[in-house]
Amino acid sequence: MSNIKKIGVLTSGGDCSGLNAVIRAVVHRAILHYGWEVYGIYDGTKGLMDRPMRYKKLTIADVDTNILRQGGTFLGTVNSGDPFAYPMPDGSKKDRSNEVIDGYNQLGLNALISMGGDGSMAILRRMAQQGGINFVGVPKTIDNDLGATETAVGYDTAVNVATEALDRLQPTAASHHRVMILEVMGRDAGHIALASGIAGGADVILMPEIPWNMAAVKAKIDSLRGNGRNFALVVVSEAVKTEKNEPVMHKFADGQVRYGGIGQYLGTRIAQETGAETRVTVLGHVQRGGQPSPHDRVLASSFGVHAVDLVAQGKFDRIVVWRNRGLTDVPITEAIASYRAVEVDGAMVQTARGLGICLGDR
Ligand code: F6P
């Protein structure tokens, strides 16, 4: 048997729906099955970096009833707090990784479980290697761009939200004879756009993986009109570039830069080229919040239980994944190394083409 007694759990990187369900599963499995103590670390690795440290010893009561259903992460998270290049108040960057490692040791943790996407996993693994931390990862990302797992926590909910948006846009598009453009997230993969576009009956889906041209989009809208259709639904992934192959970015007051604005660009261009009345909806963080879908709850629960079991077996430096209708785990290095963009010849793209959806290239 392992000599594990105390484990830490934290959430890292951008949030998504289903994180709380993972934490709940970790607490349930660790306490009820193994009799361990579980420490929830606040705000990702920052809770271990700050002095005094910020954490809570979690009980079953902390994660009972409502947590499973809630979006976000009750532990909090950060996506701009890389301990190896931590942003300091004077604008400089400082390596504070040893403070996090020291926090882990001070708390007397025997292992750490963290949710994260590819960026967070790379950072956490580096820190685990440096500090001898027994680390297990759980994949989460609405972008679904981790190659090691078929799906990650948060993706299904995001697709549900985007699909519901299309369901709501369709009647108003038809009522007003408009072309509705829906901009969805995905840095830098078009999975949300493709899946929600198919599910939501889009006429045009633009993704960063498939270069697009205005002539193809115009031809599709013209042909819909020719067939008597008075509206169109267009889904565009935020990472799609303009006709001049430029990304459309938004700079926030704090200097951070994110994708945002390709929907508006497209709305203007479609109006110019087709004469259609266009309106643009930018879904943004709505895709990350709200109640997790049943699929994400099941995935999160399975991942949480399996992560704890890996700790119990002394299998560290691994990430839990979903493959071939089942749970398994792979080395974190493998997960970081394999990025998953939309496969341009894959089943989903073939399905979209088979349905006559314009993907912007023809
Ligand atoms: O990676 C997840 C994601 O939601 C992307 O789809 C999006 O581009 C980005 O994070 C937004 O980041 P932030 O929450 O920092 O605005």
Task: Kindly state whether residues 283 and 349 are assigned to the same domain.
Answer: yes
Closest residue to atom 11 of ligand 1, CA basis:
258
Residue 336 is assigned to a structural domain of this protein: no
Mean residue pLDDT of the chain comes to 97
132 and 19 inside one domain: yes
Q: Output the pTM of the full model.
A: 0.97
**pLDDT tens for each residue of 174-206:** 999 999 999 999 999 999 999 999 999 999 999
pLDDT of res. 188: 95
Ligand 1 contact, 145 CB (< 6 A): no
| Alpha carbon distance 5, 136 (integer Å) | 16
Does the structure show a pLDDT above 90 at 356? yes
The alpha-helical segments, DSSP class H, found in 85-213 are: 97-106, 118-131, 155-176, 191-199
Q: What is the band of 80 on the pLDDT scale with cuts at 50, 70, 90? A: confident
Residue 334, domain member (yes or no)? no
- The answer to whether residues 149 and 161 belong to one domain is no
Distance 260 CA to ligand 1 centre (A): 10
Cα 29 from Cα 51, distance rounded (Å): 29
Residue 245 lies in a domain: yes
Active site residue 143: yes
Q: What is the 245 CA–ligand 1 centroid distance (Å)?
A: 21
Same domain, 57 and 103: yes
- The CATH number of the domain holding residue 239 is 3.40.50.460
Task: Report which of 149, 159, 201, 154 is spatially closest to residue 184, judged by C-alpha positions.
Answer: 159
Q: Report the pLDDT value the prediction gives residue 1, as an integer from 0 to 100.
A: 54
148 plus 250 within the same structural domain: no
Q: Is residue 333 domain-resident?
A: no
Domain match, 114 and 89 both: yes
Same-domain pairing of 174 and 117: no
- Cα Rg of the chain, angstroms: 22
Domain that holds residue 55: 6-153+292-323
CB of 169 closer than 6 angstroms to any ligand 1 atom: no
Measured in Å, residue 14 CA sits from the centre of ligand 1 at: 6
User: Is there an atom of ligand 1 within 6 Å of 154 CB?
Assistant: no
Are 113 and 244 part of one and the same domain? no
Q: Could you tell me the two tokens for 42?
A: 């606040």
Position 37 in a domain: yes
What lies within 8 Å, CB to CB, of 77 at 6+ separation is 10, 11, 12, 13, 14, 15, 19, 43, 44
DSSP for residue 188: S
Compute the Cα dihedral for 114, 115, 118, 119 and give only its sign.
Answer: negative
Distance CA 73, CA 173 (A): 35
Q: Are residues 132 and 171 in the same domain?
A: no
Query: Do both 130 and 101 map to the same domain?
Result: yes
Instruction: Round to whole Å and give the CA distance between 262 and 206.
Output: 10
Q: Is the CB of 142 under 6 A from ligand 1?
A: yes
Q: How many domains does the chain have?
A: 2
Query: Ligand 1 mean position to 185 CA, how many Å?
Result: 7
- How would you classify the pairing of strands 204-206 and 232-237? parallel
* 206 and 350 share one domain: yes
130: CATH = 3.40.50.450
Residues 18 and 143 in one domain: yes
Number of the ligand 1 atom closest to the C-alpha atom of 143: 6
**To test the ligand 1 pocket, which listed residue (12, 15, 17, 185) has its Cβ within 8 A of the most ligand atoms?**
185
Q: What angle do CA 249, 296, 185 make, to 5 degrees?
A: 10
